[in-house]
Each structure stands twice: as structure tokens, then as C-alpha cells.
Amino acid sequence: MFKSLDHIAIVVQQTDEALLFYRDRLGLPVVIDEVLESAGVRLTHLDLGNVHLQLVQPISSDHPLHKYIEQHGERLHHLCFKVDNVEETLNRLPENQLAAMDQPPHPGPLGRKAAFLNPESTRGVIWEITGES
């Protein structure tokens, strides 16, 4: 069902400030930097070799991730796995005693589809799935 790890996501207050560390100090090259207005986030992907590090910045003050950052600070937020088809995978989750957190899928970077799994079904870890369809 899950093909491979697509990215590891870290929530940040300000992407440009975070890039001073991840890009400038650690030398990780930026691969993607885009704002998803419909999701209210700026997503910046850095190349870790075989997987991306995704910086997630909420772009509006009322976005739920602002409260998350206030409570927990900048930190690891979720793991994202590639799948062949997001909608088909969402439909197959119950077979594996997994549950979706959001349906239908939401827009992801580069025009992909994505969806989060309910952390109650993933041992408390936030998982996301992404794919071309």
C-alpha cells in the first residue's frame, strides 16, 4: 500500500528564518518552494538525498498550525508516504485497521493529492499519503 517515504515534515514559524539553518548552515538544497493558498501553507522541500525535508509554514494567523507551534514549538510534524493512488489507498485503509483524518484528499505540492491518516490508528504518529492521483 505504501511505496516509499516521500518527505519528513517540520512545522516552522518563518520559512526564510528556518532556511538559514537547513539550507545555509546544513547545505541542503531547496527543491520546491510554493504557497498552497487553499491549504493556507507555504511548503518548502529540501533534498536529503533519498527523501525530502518539508518545511511547513502556516501563512495565516488563524491557521491551526499556528496554535500547534505555540503549544509545541517548531518540530517534527508528520511523515509522508508515496502511494500509487491516494483515493484508492484511502478506501483501503479500513482493511489495514487504519483511518483517514481528512477526505476527500487535499492539494499537495506540485499538483499532487494528499491526505492525512488519523493518528489514533497510527500509534500516535501523524502520517500523510501523497500521489499523482
How many CB atoms sit inside 10 A of residue 83's CB?
24
Q: Say what the pLDDT of residue 113 is.
A: 94
Output phi, psi for 97, to 5 deg.
Answer: 55, 40
CB 10 within 8 A of CB 56: yes
User: Which pLDDT tens digit goes with each residue over 75-92?
Assistant: 999 999 999 999 999 999
Q: What is the CATH number of domain 4-131?
A: 3.10.180.10
User: Which pLDDT tens digit goes with each residue over 51-67?
Assistant: 999 999 999 989 999 99
User: Which pLDDT tens digit goes with each residue over 5-52?
Assistant: 999 999 999 999 999 999 999 999 999 999 999 899 999 999 999 999
